[in-house]
Structure formats: C-alpha cells, structure tokens
Structure 1
Amino acid sequence: MKTIADIANLAGVAKSTVSRYLNGGSISESTKMKIERVVNNTGYVPNTFAQSLKAKKTNIIGTIVPRLDSFASSQILIGIDEQLRNLNYQMLIANTAQNLDREIESLYNLYNQKVAGIILLATQITDIHLEAFETIKIPVILVGQQHDNVYSVVHDNELAGFEIGEYILKKGHRKVAYLGVSEADIAVGVKRKEGFRRALNEKDGCEVRYYETQFAISEAVIRAGEIIDSFHPSILACATDNIALGALKAAHVRGLNIPTDLSITGFGGYEVTEIIHPALTTIKFNYTNAGRDAANGIIKLVNGEMFPMITSSEHELIERESVDSKTIER
C-alpha cells in the first residue's frame, strides 16, 4: 500500500508537494503531470479521511446514534450513507448506547475531529444539548425529534397516532389499551400518544387505559402480560413494533389467539412484522428516506444554503392480520 512518502520518492518531489497536489493546491503543470503519472501507475488512493481532517473545510459528517441494533437506526443510517456518498461526503458514526452523557460527549468529540456537520438521531433534547449546539457552532440536524431552534427531520407522530386510533375505532374496538414509553421521549412518548388520545376522545363509549414500558421487547412482554391479566382489552395499541412483538409473545404465553382474543397494533413498519404470523398491523415510517433528507439537509447547511427548520417524513398504515373486527353495539 503506497503512502504519500512513496509517491513523493517515485515522483522526485517533496511530500509537501504531493500533499498540495492531493488537496488542490498550487503546483507547476510539469510537477502535476509527474505526480499524476506516479499516482496512475501505482493505483494510489489517498486517505480522504486524513486529508479531510487537515483541510479547513472537511467532507466528513458526524452521525450520532443511540443504538446500533435498532431497525429504525440502521435504515436511517443506510439513507444517510447513500446520500452522503452521492454528494461526495463521508459518514463518521458515534454510538451512544442510549447514554445521554455519551451523546453530549460525542457532540464535542466529533467537533474536535473537525467534522463539517452533525446528524443526531435523538431520543430527547435537553438544555445541555442546546448548550452543546451553541458551543460547537457547526450545523446540526436532528432526526426523530423536533426542537424549535434546531433543524429537524421528523415523522408526523401525532398524525400517525391519530390514524391508528381512527383505524381501531372503525374496526369496532371500544375496550382499548395503549402501551407507550416514557414522555421524556417527546416524539414516541408524547406525540404518538397525543394523536391516539385525540382520536379516541372523539368517540363516546370507549374505555381506554394508557400504560408505559421500555423499548426493549423483554420489558414489553412483562408489561403487556400485566395489562392483559388486569384489564382484558380487546385491542392493545403499542407505541413501537418491538413493543408489539413483546405483546404478541405475552399473548401467546397465555394461550390467546391473535386477533380473535386480542388484537395488536404497532408503529414502525419493521421488516419482521410482515413475516411473523399473524402479520402485524402497523404504521410504516420510511426511515431510509428520512436519512436521505437529513443528509441532503446537513450538506445544504454546511454550504450555507437554505433548508427548512422542520422536514416531515411520510408514513402509511399497513393493515395486516393482527386486528380483528368487533361488532359495534347500537
């Protein structure tokens, strides 16, 4: 594997001259031709990451993710990576393992590595986040969460919650449980529930109870089981597909038939929800497109171009086998 020093020796020039050539600096035409000849003959590929760190303007975009084992995160990263490559930028990933301290630390670390901008797949935005954004003074785009003072690419979680609520009512369900997450997560914990609650509040005669659990399937199995045993709902609306998968397991352990004994819905549109039996009725978010939107946005901001403060990603309701129709009493 050739280095800049090797190219310099073969071309008979100084390392600094090769560096200027690689970074588009000023060198004579004859020197440029000598270096080009050596580069072509050796098949030398420059370390663009190292080049970028030395340059005043880098082509590296930092991307901070809360977890790497999430379907949503992986699909967003695919969209970001594909679009950044199309725009001749590279992605540098920092994983925080859902630790807010590590998230803040990653913001400063990426800034110190001279990234051009940062895409943050956020779970929540605190005052400490806002302080960090103000301190580093490079473009930042949020994905998944929204703040009035920060560029954001979001799913319309409130509308999605309303649509799944309307769907449940149309299917005749009137004894309803909603299994959400902590309201510290505004998008999933608040907005989805608000939309759902608004839909259910428009119909008289409904008995609705709201519960919370963790994002992990194992925690959802336990919490869903408790809801089934104590409340006996006809349908359990879950704030994520993973929570819905936990609810399916809890129902199966109790010998319940899905959807005859209990209907279940989710949010996300994870691939596994299509192949399990019964297949899950869910709201499908286009995570890959959200990633592409974020990549386009961060590059526009890096280049001083206009980009809307809020970009909303599309979604659709996918009706499958996990919801039964109930006879509506008149």
Structure 2
Amino acid sequence: MKTLLPTSTAGSLPKPSWLAEPEQLWSPWKLNGNALREGKQDALRIALKEQQQAGIDIVSDGEQTRQHFVTTFIEHLNGVDFSNRKTVTIRNRYEASVPSVVGPVSRPKSVFVEDARFLRQQTHLPIKWALPGPMTMIDTLYDDHYKSREKLAWEFAILLNQEAKELEAAGVDIIQFDEPAFNVFFDDVNDWGIAALERAIEGLKCETVVHICYGYGIKANTDWKKTLGSEWRQYEEIFPKLQQSAIDIISLECHNSHVPMELMELVRGKKVMVGAIDVASNTIETPEQVADTLRKALQYVDADKLYPCTNCGMAPLSREVATAKLRALAAGAELVRRELSA
C-alpha cells in the first residue's frame, strides 16, 4: 500500500567527523585512496540507517560521497578546467572562485551510478537521488567557451539526461534536480531554464523532482533572505510555467520562510515536496510545528500529492541536530496521517 504523506530530505546530511570536517560546505576529505572509497560507503550506510531509524519513507545517500551538490558532478566532466579559476558572483549573492569551461563539455563515464547501485543494495525503501540542475550548474562556473548561458545549460542538460537514465537503470525511484538558481533568474527560467530541465528528464520513467529553495543555512544566504522583505514571492514568477512542465514533483522551502502558502495553488495538480524543516536553524522543530505546516499546505495541495520534506540540505548542521530534525519530520507527518485517516 502506498504511504500517505511520504517523508524525505531535500538532499545532504552531515558527514561523520572521520570522513570530512563537520558543519561546513566543500569540506575536504580526511581519507584518501581505498580508505576514502570505503569511508564514503560506510558514511552512506550510516546516513541510510539514520533516515530509516527516524522514520523517513523515501531515503537518499545523504550526499555522503560528494563534497558539494554541484561541483562533484562537474569534476567528472571533460571541458572544465579546475586549475583555471575565475571569481564569479553566485546567484547574485556571494563571490566564489570557480572552475572555467574551456572546451566542449562531455561526460566520459557515469558519475554517481556506482554509489546509487550501492544504496539500492542496502534498502527496499524507495530511493531518491539528487543531481544539480542545468541552470545551477552554469551559475557555478566561468564560461570561457560557449559564451552563452543558454547554450551551456542545454549541453549540461544532455549530460544530466545520460546520468539520470543510468541512475534509473540502477534502481533509483525518484531523480531530483536541484535548481536554487530558479529563485533568482526568473526571465531565464521562463525563457529556457524549464525547457533545459525538461531536456534533462527526457525519456525517464521514474518520478522527477525540481528542488527550488533559498539555499543552505550559510551566512551569504541568511543575509540575502533578510533583504527579501516580509513576503517572499519568488515562486510566483516561475510556478505557472512549472505547473505546465513535464516535471512530476516540485520541492519548495516553506517552514520559517516568508513564502506565502497560497503560492502552492499555482502548481495545483503537481505533487509537492513541502519543506517543513528549517535547515538554517539549530532549533529542533516539534512534531506539532511540522504538522501545522503540513495542515496549512493541505489547503493548496491534495493529500495524495503532499510529500513532507526538509527546506534544503542539512550538511552544515551537526549530526545530532539533523537527526533530531528528521525524527520531528517523520513524527509530524504521522500526526497528520492519523488526522486524515480519522
């Protein structure tokens, strides 16, 4: 029987301290060679176990085998030079030193498929795998070759589609594309961003998600949020076109944000992963707070299409906090399930 209100995480979970420096993004690995390969697999097992024990219904790898949700995919591509770095402004928010696209991009071999196969062997639960979306990829690079954001996005969409098809064949049930850039470049999203995303999902039979949030709980993002005023209406710009798109599920940030709940009405008919856990705070939500967010969302999303989730990845949090938040998510969803079945 299909679970009502199936819970999941938006992506990353904290890594064990023996694998990488805790509570920071782009944390360097503490192991290398064969020990690193084994360490990543052990961390993946732990992340899976912690999700299962918390009561999460759709599990993931917790992104234990990658340093960063975008660059780890890009590192495996041809045409990108990591030694030739330039400073760019990411999502109009903060400056970062990024690699350069110096020639035609291609994907010589699969990137995450072995990891996905390993995860599939460990569990019978549905598994979700996250990939960076085309627009967020181009926003994390300096393009010295195509000289066109749109052209580069289409090239990446083709490579992502190759990877996604192999992930599906490895037993992944849901493939998620992370597109925080969709919250910033509205004209591009509507002109070609959604079309590029649809190219990335072409031919897939598994379910597909686009995850659009306001970013990890890092200072650059929390500072930016303070400038957005009392109502965050960014979703309003892109939801109407997403509602018409071939993407199955839309994943959004909700709890403790200033996103007006009624904006979910714009994607009525789609499945919605509602972020009911704040990843920019160490405060542990109560099950009742989670349930309250879900009850409000149910005004705009049919119960069979509501997927309780976290706002974003939890890599910058401590393992203790992240695990407690997962338990709260599962317990809050269970409260609402009982109400619905009553």
TM-score, normalising length from structure 1?
A: 0.29
Radius of gyration: which is bigger? 1
TM-score, normalising length from structure 2?
A: 0.28
